[in-house]
Amino acid sequence: MKRCISLIILSVLLFASCAGSGPERKMVYGGARSSRYGIRPFPDEREWASMVKSIAGDTDAASPALIWIVGEIVSDKGQSLCRLNFPGEKGEVDNVLFSTFDENEKYLDFFDRKGIKVFLQVEPGDGDLGDLIRLVLDRYGHHSSVAGFGVDVEWFRIGGTDGWGTRIDDKMAQEWESLVRSYKQDYRLFLKHWDPRWMPPRYRGDLIFVNDSQEFSSLTSMKEEFRSWADIFYPNMIFIQTGYEADRELWSGLDHPAGDLSRLLTEDIRQTHGFFWVDFTLQRIF
């Protein structure tokens, strides 16, 4: 009888072990992009948490997440500056402006408690990326919600390559990633653009490559675009940032836009990935 009970217990333990060691979930992050210019009125922290948790649930993501813009590009006397939305010393670094109050702290405090992961992104303009990484992570690196740092390459030295930002070379990418990970080893750096030619040609490291393409002719062409992006940067993680007004005719007819679109766009993607709905149209799907 004791042997019988022991075998039963062993069987239960083995079953539990197998059930917990299933295949890695490829949809790691599901959520939204947040900017102060993309949605008005700006949602409070509870509304953001509710929206990203809903998207994470619809997309079967392992974790709700946000791409949270903390630095926006502004123009001043022919220069492209980065305005950080928290206080700092005037003239502390070149080509960087600061807000008079902190626009992020209470949100990050709330996301810490709710288990929402946040990638802090800048639109750097002519600001030095090393300075921007240090300013942002010095201020917010203590938050458990922070998962990494992001650069929108389209707004990096916009007078550079062909008018769509300056292309990132391998040395830049490696130095930025090393700096980000010096704050915390598991922090990730993402680079965002819609054209792979703007990404570093060879260096991959542990970078995340984000595609924010829009203006598609069909759902098929949208799917092909993101699958091609994933193939180019395989096996690195990729993010899809979508939901733009320009593509509303394609996604507005779906029963569950975030969930249905994410499954369509990622079903053939081999590596881990994330899906983020842009804030411009969040109110249309909620």
Q: Tens of pLDDT along 183-241?
A: 999 999 999 999 999 999 999 999 999 999 999 999 999 999 999 999 999 999 999 99
pLDDT band at residue 170 using 50, 70 and 90 as cut-offs: very high
Check pLDDT > 80 for residue 70.
Answer: yes
Buried b / exposed e over 171-209, threshold 16 CB at 10 Å, is ebbbebbebbbebeeebbbbbbbbbeebbbeebbeebbb
The domain segmentation of the chain, as residue ranges, is 24-285
Q: Is residue 107 scored above 80 in pLDDT?
A: yes
pLDDT at site 55: 98
Q: Which of 172, 176, 99, 92 is nearest to 133 (CA)?
A: 176
> What pLDDT was estimated at residue 79?
86
What pLDDT shows up at residue 3? 35
Q: In sequence order, what DSSP letters do the residues of 21-43 get, joined into one string?
A: T-PPPSEEEEEEEE-TTTSSSPP
pLDDT of res. 160: 66
Quote the percentage of the chain above a pLDDT of 70.
Answer: 91
Digit-coded pLDDT (tens) for 110-167? 999 999 999 999 999 999 999 999 999 999 999 999 999 999 999 999 876 667 899 9
pLDDT at position 178 over 60: yes
Average pLDDT over the chain reads 92
Residue type, 23: P
Beta carbons within 10 angstroms of residue 1's beta carbon: 5
Please report, as a single letter, which amino acid is at residue 108: L
Tell me which fold the domain 24-285 belongs to. Answer: TIM Barrel (3.20.20)
| Confidence (pLDDT) at 163 | 74
Residue 156 bridge partners (DSSP): 125
Considering the chain, what percentage of its residues have pLDDT values greater than 90?
Answer: 86
Q: Are 159 and 129 in contact (CB under 8 A)?
A: no
3-state SS string over 70-129?
A: EEEEEEECCEEEEEECCCCCCCCCCCEEECCCCCCHHHHHHHHHHCCEEEEEECCECCCH
| pLDDT of amino acid 162 | 67
Give the whole-angstrom CA distance, residue 143 versus residue 152: 22
Peptide bond into 235 cis (omega under 30): yes
